[in-house]
Chains A and B, each alone.
Chain A
């Protein structure tokens, strides 16, 4: 198993495999750990199903807390912009599908919230963004390219809503990289 030492690896380099439980935020150049989580009580979604287009993972501590609400609403506002990159946005927290369902409806969110519920925080752990002490997912953002490799990642202080500008900048760079150094992704 290779540890993450290739943060600055060029896009064409083979992706490094992440450690089983990384010590910190997974960095660019590392294969995004696949996962299957519930999006609703009877629907599951796997990251690998989304290959071919960028994916934005928004890890956040909890449904209903004020800052999280703002953060997800800002991503909701940004959906028209994010769609221009064919990007799929997924929110992930340790809340249950039932909490997610009520929260999505209340905030009129136009993207899926996935339940990192059982085993609690397992996906966040695999991305190096689980808060052991607090028992919740840290506030972290990942942009994953169409090949399933992390292109950009960011860990925000829990109390600070990071906004969407970093994700949009990363998607701009990803689009530029894809169009100049590799054939267009199918």
Chain B
């Protein structure tokens, strides 16, 4: 199963554009498995440095995670103000506290307007963008969260997110040859 659309200018990414490995996660801020993967991805980023580019796309499942959508909207609001990754990391670091209080504190911490966030949540300013990402995930074969794509191909994991390290290493090694 192939990622479409590929990573582009509308995506939030960490790492160099010419990194040999691009890892895309479709994730939900309230999903406990995504919370578990968050720490592993940080380790992978340390391990592979500039060899790895990481991209996060939203795939909230509000039917079972009532805070997934407002959390995603909060991250997107911060992203529109060039602070996506600070928000993304704070939300996962505080996954058990997701809710309006956390979003307000986060936005204050990032020197952004609490009123502006409330307006964005009320008006659903970022919902179309989030839905576009969900739709791209559905078309790419996302069947739950988190789902990962490495250089555009879906990664099938057997049990642990740490399994991501091997295929990433292979891609980086292949690029060095």
Contacts and interface: CB of A to CB of B under 8 A. Distances in A.
User: Do the two chains bind?
Assistant: yes
Interface of A: 69-71, 73-74, 76-78, 80-81, 107-109, 161-165, 168
Given A77-B134, A161-B144, A109 B139 contact: no
Interface in B129-149: 131, 134-135, 138-144
B131 A80 contact: yes
B61 interface: yes
7 contacts: A69-B64, A73-B144, A74-B143, A77-B59, A80-B135, A165-B139, A165-B141
Chain B interface category by residue count = 10 to 19
Q: Pick the 7 closest A-B CB pairs, nearest first.
A: A163-B143, A165-B141, A161-B143, A108-B63, A70-B144, A163-B141, A78-B138
B143 A162 contact: yes
A77 B1 CA distance: 18
Interface of B: 1, 59, 61, 63-64, 131, 134-135, 138-144
A104 to B, nearest CB: 11
A37 B19 CA distance: 54
Given A80-B131, A168-B138, A109 B143 contact: no
B142 A74 contact: yes
A109 B62 CA distance: 11
Contacts of A164: 138, 143
Contacts of A76: 63
B61 A77 contact: yes
Nearest to B140: A165
Contacts of A107: 63-64
Contacts of B142: 74, 163
A74 B63 contact: no
A76 to B, nearest CB: 6
A165 B1 contact: yes
Contacts of B138: 74, 77-78, 81, 163-165, 168
A70 B135 contact: no
A80 B141 CA distance: 16
A81 B138 CA distance: 9
A156 B36 CA distance: 27
Contacts of B139: 81, 165, 168
A6 to B, nearest CB: 28
B120 to A, nearest CB: 21
Contacts of A162: 143
Nearest to A74: B143
A73 B138 CA distance: 11
A109 B141 contact: no
Contacts of B135: 80-81
